[in-house]
A and B are shown apart, each in its own frame.
Chain A
Amino acid sequence: MKVVKIKEDNCVYCHLCEVACIVEHSQSKDIIKAFKREERPIARCSVEFNYPVSLSVMCRHCDDAPCIEACQNGSMHRDERGYVVVNPDTCVGCWMCIMACPYGVIKRDTRREVFGLSTKCDLCPDREIPACVEACPNEALTYEEL
């Protein structure tokens, strides 16, 4: 299964992966609108920096996905492509997926009124190559079989 491979030696801490992720998951998919006019989505990849280390980390789409196992109402599930995604309409923000995720890559979006929403990499279902990979100027992220 193809996922985003992380090549930390190439990472220069530019955060373009996060920007591209935010734009891709925005309503308009337009960078200006996404950042200035609409409610800005949360980036599903995170750049970590601790000199001299820097890398962008996102969901590894585990075969045994502990987040799916921990989900209390089936919101976290495998889509038709086989990737692990969350259904935003049914997620209740109980954070049991966060409790279980061995990579620590599920984030909280607590802006919804009633329930929070767990937010994670969905490997951009509308694209052939994930937005973060395409945006990376240095091939620190590539899309390939692991």
Chain B
Amino acid sequence: MRIVIVGNSVAAINAIEAIREKDKISSITVISDENYRAYSHPLLPNLVIGEVSRSEERFYYRRQKFYEEFKVETILGKRVVKILPKQKAVKLDNAQKIEYDKLLLAVGGNPVKPPIDGLELEGVHTLTNIKAADKLRKDLKNINRVVVVGAGLIGSKIAEKLAKKGKKVVLVELARRVLFPVLDDEAANLIHKELKKLGVELILNDSVVAVDGDKRVKSVKLKSGKTIDADGCIVAVGVAPNAQLAKDANLEVNRGVVVNDFMQTSNEDIFAAGDVAEAYDLVLGQKRPIPILPLAAAQGRIAGLNMLSLGVKYRGGFASNSISIGDVSFISMGIVDSDELEVLKIKKDGEYRKFLIDEDNRLKGMILVGNIEKAGMFHWMIKNRFDVSWIKDTFLNSDFGWKYFNKAFRVLRLDRKIK
């Protein structure tokens, strides 16, 4: 069988690993417009300031020999311009055609381009791939005062990193807090404090309407009328599923490529996984793109197995994030803010814990700040719709752990009898 994978990041690599666990014979071809082996996207801000280097294994997702070891043919630096479902082939930008029996779309997302004038000026950057990161890194010597547009994961992280490098950073966010969907006001305030400590100027409830300058950025104009002098601007307002290829091939697409429980698109020989796909969110009970790395890995794996017709169902996932800003670590998952759910929370020095529970006593979301070490136990409870009625009283204890569980359950779980 000929398996072709478009894209070469987390979902693609996990698909390859899953396929090779079961099938040593089929040919696997990976096509990517990026001329690099798979790397870690969350480390791009670290790459920009030189905290990790391109020569280090730390930056890459798998070791150098990966493609050789897993017998993968790579076509790097070439873009797929068209899928030809009838011919079961993809067309590359050099007009070459690659035939497939099963195709996986793992093409990720594209940076969202907000309606701002002047984005074509020198000194304006995005930060969603290695090329953009290299460009920003080379431009750093020309940047002393930088405006970061959007305080999501990338925006907050690069603001922190550049401030640490001694740059004057202004972070502009449309919402009333940083990391809006990931944190609540209380937790976000702690990030605000950490950012301010590092010297980042934070402007909330405002947006950038124009970037001004002749050839290079000179200033940035805000909706509120304010003008900020700047010689650099980083646009980080989010990523959107890169669904154009799928659309052109007449696959079903909403915001992302629609897939069934087997990560199969509306064409039975084409699969999709990762940031490009719209898979089941088991907290919200609907399909939507959730562009986070662990879900791309899980979906890639499932897609890989199903390309071999193994019929493995994807149970769904939910949003979860781990972020450290300054000296404080945050982990949040599921629904983090709600008026309808039961909310348990506690704040004490350096620690914040919050849990959201529905009327059936199922955990729907949580935030941990400071003391994050048992976070995954809550992840398990959310994923398995665990009845928390008898244990939720202990969630707010800093020493939450196995000792609070029912003995019979605990013994079975620790003996790996309940998965």
* Chain A interface (Cβ < 8 Å from any Cβ of B): 3, 5-6, 8, 46, 48-50, 53-55, 57, 60, 62, 64, 66-67, 69-70, 72-75, 89-90, 92-104, 106-108, 114, 116, 146
Q: Which 6 A-B pairs have the closest CB atoms?
A: A101-B376, A104-B374, A102-B380, A50-B403, A70-B294, A48-B403
Which chain A positions have C-beta within 8 A of B374?
104
**Pairwise interchain contact B43-A53, C-beta atoms closer than 8 A:** no
**Please, could you name 12 A-B residue pairs with CB atoms under 8 Å apart, sorted by A?**
A48-B401, A64-B419, A73-B40, A73-B57, A92-B46, A98-B322, A99-B333, A100-B320, A104-B374, A104-B402, A116-B324, A146-B415
Please measure, in the bound complex, the distance between the C-alpha atom of A101 and the C-alpha atom of B322, giving whole angstroms. 13
**Among B58-66, B111-119, B167-175, B258-266, the stretch in contact with A:** B58-66
B297 lies within 8 A of A69 (CB): yes
Which B residues have a C-beta under 8 Å from some C-beta of A?
Answer: 14, 39-43, 46, 51-52, 56-63, 293-294, 297-298, 301, 320-322, 324, 329, 331, 333, 372-377, 379-380, 399, 401-404, 407, 410-411, 413-416, 419
- Is the pair B331, A60 in contact by a Cβ cutoff of 8 Å? no
Interface pair A74/B331, CB less than 8 Å apart: no
Q: Is the CB of B43 within 8 A of A102?
A: no
B58 and A98 contacting across the interface, CB-CB below 8 Å: no
What's the least CB distance linking B376 to chain A, in Å? 4
Q: Given the complex, which residues of A lie within 8 Å of B419, measured CB to CB?
A: 64
Contacts of B413 in A (CB 8 A): 103
Known contacts A60-B414, A94-B42, A114-B51, A53 near B403 by CB under 8 Å:
yes
Q: Which residues of A contact B376 (CB under 8 A)?
A: 66-67, 97-104, 106
Q: How close is B78's CB to chain A, nearest CB, in angstroms?
A: 25
Which residues from A are CB-within-8-Å of B380?
Answer: 102
B46 / chain A contacts, CB cutoff of 8 Å: 92
Task: Flag if A90 contacts B415 (CB, 8 Å).
Answer: no
**If A73-B40, A74-B62, A104-B376 touch, does A99 touch B322 (CB 8 Å cutoff)?**
yes
- Report whether A100 and B58 are in contact in the complex, using a CB–CB cutoff of 8 Å: no
CA distance A115 to B62 in the complex (A): 19
Q: Considering the chains assembled together, what is the distance between the CA atoms of A64 and B301 in angstroms?
A: 11
Nearest Cβ in chain A — how far from B276, in angstroms?
18
Complex CA gap A108/B327 in Å reads 13
Expressed in whole angstroms, the Cα–Cα distance for A49 and B397 within the complex equals: 13
Contact of B401 among A3, A69, A100, A104 (CB under 8 A): A104
Partner of B294, one of A62, A64, A100, A146: A100
Known A-B contacts A70-B294, A73-B60, A103-B377; the reply to A60 vs B322 at CB < 8 A is no
**CB–CB A50/B404 < 8 A:** yes
* Cα–Cα distance between A75 and B40 once the two chains are bound (Å): 11
Q: Chain B residues with Cβ under 8 A from A60's Cβ?
A: 414, 416
CB distance from A56 to the nearest CB of B (A): 10
In the complex, what's the smallest C-beta–C-beta distance from B54 to chain A, in angstroms?
13
- The reply to whether B375 and A104 form a contact with Cβ atoms under 8 Å apart is yes
Nearest-neighbor residue (CB-CB) of B333 within chain A: A99
Contacts of A116 in B (CB 8 A): 324
- Given A57-B414, A60-B414, A95-B329: A104 in contact with B373 (beta carbons within 8 A): yes
Query: A residues within 8 A CB of B415?
Result: 5-6, 146
Contact: B298 with A69, CB < 8 Å? yes
Contact of A108 among B63, B373, B411 (CB under 8 A): B373
Most chain A CB atoms below 10 A, which of B333, B402, B404, B411: B402
